[in-house]
Structure 1
Amino acid sequence: MMEILQSCLTLRSLGSLFALFIISVVVRGIYNVTLHPLAGFPGPRFRAAFALPGLWSTCKGNYVRDVWYAHKTYGDVVRIAPDAISFSSGSAWKDIYGLQGGKHQLAKDYKRFPDRPEAIILFGSNDEDHERIRRIISHGFTSSAVKQQEALVDGHIKKLMEQLGKHAGKKIDINHWFNVFTFDVISHLTFGESFNSLPTGQLHAFTADFLEKMKIFPIIYVSREYSIVNLLLKLMMAIPSVKKQQDEFFEATKARVEKRINQALPNQHDLMKYIMENNDEKGMNRQEIEGTTTVLLNAGGQETATCLSSTLFYLMRNSETLAQAQQDTKIDDFPYIGAAIKEALRIHPPVSGNIQRRTGQGGRMIDGWYIPPNTSVGVNQFAASHSASNFALPETFAPERWLPAASSNGFEADIKAAYQPFSIGPRNCIGKALALMIASRTLAELLQQFDVALQDDSKGWDERQTFNVGWDRPPLYVVLTPKA
């Protein structure tokens, strides 16, 4: 009898604790909507009350489009979480990511970073360290360095065309081939030697491992909000087999960096060459080099592949734009292909979400709004690029808007400051010129050698994608026909 009574008391205690938890959540939600410093900002009430709706959207891969829909409903300034405001205007870019008073920038929102230091070097470093690291690696991204790297890139483009030629007349997944190609190029530029995956047509194990590990990022975001999830994640990461996989990933990078540093390749203009030549006593330590090269490899490989796939997709959907791009291969510097790439980056930016910052103790004026202290803020690239307030015909793929004659094509009122696929300010993408060079030369060669035809089962390719840290791109099926 006593045991039954104790069991009832235990169940009652657990029930009381659960009830208190529910009450506290509801009370917190009511406070967030009514008395919180951000209560006056427009946005979905459920998102303002609780973090869970935004996190659930992130886990499902719908975050980018859900925030865009919120902007369509509520305007350029939207509260998307209890502590977060999203912007979609051109002026917000400078207010959030630029230097304030010529000196200070908003701090990174570290609530959304993983714990391992190797994963956040360069992206997550403080301002002083970031400036020091960027000063060293910037030598590998100057216009002269990118010019020197063209020969290396062209060698890989040639290999890609050879492999595509072997599959001419057959339905192939060009998105897969672009993935293999870009990681071959970027690995060569980063470590001094390529993954050399093009001959087999298979992703290198390092690349496949990276793409698989990216899927955990939504869980990391959830863990930053709920301590119990954070505890469970840490326990999972401490499992010997899981920890071994993590360590092997970073050890593979370390081994490649070590091998390249011990090689003398004076005529090879890879990024490590410039790091080693300019790394003085105030430069980068070995861990920083390893972490930075991992970031450059993975960001450069995935985002350049996204750029190539999306540009080709939008060109293929319109016979007129495709014909103009094919004509462009006969012109130096490929102006129309360059405009098509810019337009694809507008419609389908590789980094489409909110790059979060945190306001300081005094708050910040952003886009004419006073934002209270310790608020997470960011421009949603997808919403900014698709906003009718920023661009005429925002859903239309129109490379003409980036050509000199744009003013005669109805695009003169476009707010170009809202277009920032590489971000702005001290932490903008350092590899912009390199990525654009790879994309333009690859597409020009592809369109010069082949006629391309989009297959029916890929006509909704862009709409079927979900977004994690980057776009999860399904197969993009095409048929290539060699030109006579």
Structure 2
Amino acid sequence: MKLNDLVAKAASISAGEWVLLLVAYAVLYQLSLSVYRVTLHPLAKIPGPFLNKISGWTHVFWAISGKRHLYLTWAHAKYGPIVRNGPNELSFTTDTALRSIYLPKNANVQKAKMYLTMDAATGSQSTHSTIDRMEHAARRRVLSHAFSESAVRSAEQFVNQNLETLFRIIREKSKESGDSGWARADMGKLMNWYSFDVMGTLAFGRKFDCLESDEHRIVPSLLLSGSRFTHSLCHMPIAWVFNRIVASPLMKVIGGKPARDNVKYYEYADKQLRERIEEENSLDEKSQIARKDSTHYLLHAKDPETGRGFSYSELHADASLLIAAGSDTVSTTLAAAIFYLTRNPRALEEATREVRAAFASPEEVRGGPVLNGCKYMVACIDEALRIAPAVPSDLPREVLPGGMDIDGYHIPAGTTVGVGAFAIHHSEKYYPEPYKFMPERWIPAEKEGEWPSAEDVRMAHAAHCPFSIGIRGCLGKNMAMMELKITLARLLLEFDMRLPAKFGENEPEGGGKDEEWGRDRKDEYQLTDWFICDRSGPVVELKPV
């Protein structure tokens, strides 16, 4: 058939017939691709849910629902320590995989492309989301000054200042309660506001007074709602399409309230950054010395080779990161610790006894060997970080050309790999009775043959990754641990705590209520996974000592 005849034949096909042909082609292509993915694909023999093997869109459902951490935990319980959870994605729950993927400086991986969507609203990438390893290393070196040992020590005074405000509010509630002296408080909300105030002081040189004022209280809600939006967007196979329009008027319409909240959150971070820059410039003009908070180091950072500082969009992305990372882990962990301690009276009694034996007054509670020597209290923090990690899902990495070996499997280039904190933290291989709050699992038994042995504790630490590990691990880990230790120690020193005898109809208990898998345990603090965590409660009662 001649070319002219083919053209004439094509021209004779109606529009409806063209649509049918295109649909048939799309169906045939997808069927062929699906058959390839479950038979001939390099990952075909690795177990996992069937739908996940043929499509990446299942992730979008789990991301939108806030249950991705539960899905990963369920999948590993059913299929084992390595699960194919996408056409080109693998999830692991072994300490060896954790070290292979995240620990080595020369690991043949980079951050997955989903990170390009996280801070797209700023027009740049934060230190956390930047994919280029050299750029990340340079930016991390700059920020590391804000989290040095001396910076952590100097930050203790700001933690204590905000604690005084928090405890004054609880004591006022205690006086209002009458003769009993027991104050009823939603510690989830209070920990949110408290950690946000501490973050403002450490990141921008001023607290936001969330504990005492409504002005900034909307921001934690904006952060959660915006994180829900970007978390869902990140897991779409076509996320790259939206990167340039995340903050556009169009996205505000099609993305609904979460998209608008995401923009509002970044606008808030932009406002804080601009005010901080104005303050820094004003001090420079007056030859006054500014307090060296995190933003100070960002503003004065220079690349040692090129002399280039951060662009404004890069500063904006990191300011947004500091607000989120500086408040979420602490508030989630403290709320979880309080939830579990008030539901485990023996653990609460032991932690309280230990702290009150170590310190005679609040002024004595500071970083150092005495605080670190409160081994049971520190174990309570480690257990809260295990059982309710603030970032519960995996931090995905893309395997680079040449591939890599993980747990005896050769993983080809282009595969996304990861270890979810919630999933590995609930693996019975490392944590017997993983859904039980047992601080004892972090302290070796004194008698030989009793649980836990030194090897049991070593295994628990090997799989413990609430701050991730390696060169991409949380830069603010030491700052967060200082804040967690001082806050919990002072809370146990200055207050008795207990679970209310009865909850009001609308009071958040914090535990599971639904019958679905993962939401059915009343004594488990429930997390909603939108990269960072949403949660409610716990409501408890406190009484000044």
* Pair 1:195–1:148, CA change in 2 (3 A): same
* Pair 1:211–1:374, CA change in 2 (3 A): same
Contact residue 77 and residue 87 of structure 1 kept, 8 A: yes
Contact residue 149 and residue 270 of structure 1 kept, 8 A: no
> Which whole-Å deviations, capped at 9, do the CAs of 1:409-463 have from their partners, x for residues lacking one?
5122431211111111111101011101111111111222222223455162545
Alpha-carbon separation, structure 1, partners of 2:123 and 2:205: 20
SS at match of 2:542: strand
The residue type equivalent to 1:374 in the other structure is: G
Q: 2:109 aligns with which of 106, 109, 112?
A: 106
Alpha-carbon separation, structure 2, partners of 1:10 and 1:312: 65
Query: 2:68 aligned with 1:63, yes or no?
Result: yes
Query: What does 1:88-237 correspond to in 2, within 5 Å?
Result: 88-99=93-104, 103-104=106-107, 106-114=109-117, 115-117=120-122, 120-125=125-130, 126-168=132-174, 169-200=182-213, 203-225=216-238, 236-237=250-251
Query: 2:383 aligned with 1:368, yes or no?
Result: no
Query: What does 1:366-405 correspond to in 2, within 5 Å?
Result: 366-405=406-445
| Percent sequence identity over aligned pairs | 28
Contact residue 347 and residue 395 of structure 1 kept, 8 A: yes
Alpha-carbon separation, structure 2, partners of 1:474 and 1:119: 32
SS at match of 1:107: strand
The residue type equivalent to 2:217 in the other structure is: H
Q: Which residue of 1 is the match for residue 276 of structure 2?
A: 257
Q: Which residue of 1 is the match for residue 346 of structure 2?
A: 320
* Pair 1:226–1:370, CA change in 2 (3 A): same
SS at match of 1:190: helix
Alpha-carbon separation, structure 2, partners of 1:70 and 1:181: 36
Alpha-carbon separation, structure 1, partners of 2:240 and 2:137: 33
Alpha-carbon separation, structure 2, partners of 1:383 and 1:92: 13
Contact residue 101 and residue 107 of structure 2 kept, 8 A: no
> Which whole-Å deviations, capped at 9, do the CAs of 1:328-353 have from their partners, x for residues lacking one?
22223033221100011111111111
Mean CA deviation greater in 317-326 or 218-227:
218-227
* Pair 1:222–1:398, CA change in 2 (3 A): closer
SS at match of 1:71: helix
* Pair 1:20–1:164, CA change in 2 (3 A): farther
Mean CA deviation greater in 37-46 or 118-127:
118-127
The residue type equivalent to 2:398 in the other structure is: R
Mean CA deviation greater in 150-159 or 280-289:
280-289
* Pair 1:246–1:446, CA change in 2 (3 A): closer
Q: Count how many residue pairs are aligned between Structure 1 and Structure 2.
A: 474
CA RMSD of aligned residues (A): 2.9
Alpha-carbon separation, structure 2, partners of 1:161 and 1:419: 31
Alpha-carbon separation, structure 1, partners of 2:226 and 2:150: 35
TM-score, normalised to structure 1, is 0.89
Q: Which residue of 2 is the match for residue 478 of structure 1?
A: 540
- Deviation (angstroms), 1:254: 2.9
Larger radius of gyration: 2
Mean CA deviation greater in 411-420 or 277-286:
277-286
SS at match of 1:362: coil
Alpha-carbon separation, structure 2, partners of 1:375 and 1:105: 11
Contact residue 41 and residue 78 of structure 1 kept, 8 A: yes
Q: 1:411 aligns with which of 452, 456, 459?
A: 452
Contact residue 140 and residue 275 of structure 1 kept, 8 A: no
Q: Which residue of 2 is the match for residue 298 of structure 1?
A: 324
Alpha-carbon separation, structure 1, partners of 2:289 and 2:483: 22
Contact residue 400 and residue 414 of structure 2 kept, 8 A: yes
Contact residue 116 and residue 129 of structure 2 kept, 8 A: yes
Q: Which residue of 2 is the match for residue 4 of structure 1?
A: none
